[in-house]
Amino acid sequence: MMGGAGTAPIAAETGQGKTRIAPDVVAKIAGLAARDIPGVHSMGSGVARRIGQLRELIPGGSQAASQGVSVDVGERQAAIDLNLVTEYGQSIVDISDAVRRSVAGQVEGMTGLKVTEVNIQVDDIHVESPQDSQQSRTQ
């Protein structure tokens, strides 16, 4: 399934040329689509989340859209692995189903690549602390 080393997958090919999309673009689309789903608190393993939090503290820094996303892209297909943190009290099964639909739909719709699988690993559950709820009440 993997494309040639250093070449982006072919998303479209016509008599007038080829359109290639870098794997990082596929990962970014998948990450943004997953984050849009209610119940997804954050993405990435514990270490990646901490690094993302540090990036947000730097002026002009932001959390990488592809954090928690790994893609395996071939010439016309993509397989996607996601690491998620869900909100406590939410159905992990329902969130996973919604994330799969969103990610596959966005990647296929935007790139033309066929998504063969979206594998999800839930690494943690976010539990709102009393301090979090006090801050949201004062805002």
Average pLDDT of the residues in 17-45? 92
The answer to the question of residue 3 being in a domain is: no
Kindly give, in sequence order, each residue whose CB lies less than 8 Å from that of residue 5, ignoring residues fewer than 6 positions away. none
Report residue 135's pLDDT band, with 50, 70 and 90 as the boundaries: low
- Give 62-119 pLDDT, tens digit per residue: 457 888 999 999 888 999 999 999 999 999 999 999 999 999 999 999 999 999 999 9
The answer to the question of residue 17 being in a domain is: no
Half-sphere exposure at residue 8, Cβ-oriented, CA atoms within 13 angstroms: 16
Average pLDDT of the residues in 20-32? 93
Domain region containing 40: 22-138
pLDDT of residue 4: 42
CA–CA distance, 79 with 114 (Å, rounded to integer)? 9
* pTM, 2 dp: 0.76
The answer to the question of residue 10 being in a domain is: no
Helix (H) or strand (E) holding 45: none
The answer to the question of residue 11 being in a domain is: no
pLDDT of residue 85: 94
Number of domains in the chain: 1
The answer to the question of residue 2 being in a domain is: no
Q: Tell me whether residue 108 is exposed, middle or buried, using C-beta atoms within 10 angstroms of its C-beta: 0 to 12, 13 to 18, 19 or more.
A: middle
